[in-house]
Amino acid sequence: MNLYPALTHHQTARRASARSKWGSALFVFIATAALALAVATPARADFCIQLSGGPFSGDLGFFRFKGTLPKGKGAVVTLKGRVAGLSPVFGTATVAKDGTFVEIGATFIADGTQGQIDVSFFPPTAAAGSGGGDYGAYGAGQAVTANIVACTLEP
């Protein structure tokens, strides 16, 4: 038999309240961290490419990538970056086995529309290249020119 039912109830309520406060604080912390990661600021980029041709001009043609563009024979590098401000870009840069060129293939979504680019630089150290790209309609590829540019030149 419990002689102090009110005290026991009060202590139980206090423990439940403390657990609830910690749970709420943890939720707020996790939500804030997730929001900070989801609302990305313009990313620092290690190299940038400006495309020209077809629908690619201005900010839609400006791609910022993290990492380095490979130069060695047979090298393959995963690319992540941004286009048109904060729109995500994912792709791969591959150097030919004989080292004669580097090819960049990437998929992106800008303004809710998916697109792809495929550009090559002959040799891998060249600052100018060419290729093709789609934006919106598949199979309607457009010829593009590509230039590796300073990331501070973003439109």
Look up residue 143 and give its DSSP letter. Answer: E
The pLDDT, as a whole number, for residue 78 is: 96
In tens, the pLDDT along 127-136 reads 999 999 999 8
Look up residue 97 and give its DSSP letter. Answer: T
Q: How far apart are CA 101 and CA 121, in angstroms?
A: 6
Residue with tokens 């077809």: 54
- 9 burial level (CB within 10 Å; 0-12, 13-18, 19+): exposed
In tens, the pLDDT along 56-85 reads 988 899 999 998 899 999 999 999 999 998
Q: How far apart are CA 41 and CA 85, in angstroms?
A: 9
How confident is residue 141, by pLDDT bands cut at 50, 70 and 90?
A: confident
* Helix, strand or coil, per DSSP, at residue 109: strand
Q: Is the pLDDT of residue 39 over 80?
A: no
Arithmetic mean of pLDDT over the chain: 82
Task: Show the DSSP H helices in the chain as ranges.
Answer: 5-38
**Residues 84, 62 contacting (CB under 8 angstroms):** yes
Q: Which residue has the higher pLDDT, 140 or 118?
A: 118
Domain borders along the chain are 1-39, 47-153
Q: Is the pLDDT of residue 51 over 70?
A: yes
The pLDDT, as a whole number, for residue 36 is: 46
Mean pLDDT throughout 15-24?
Answer: 61
In tens, the pLDDT along 98-119 reads 999 999 999 999 988 999 999 9
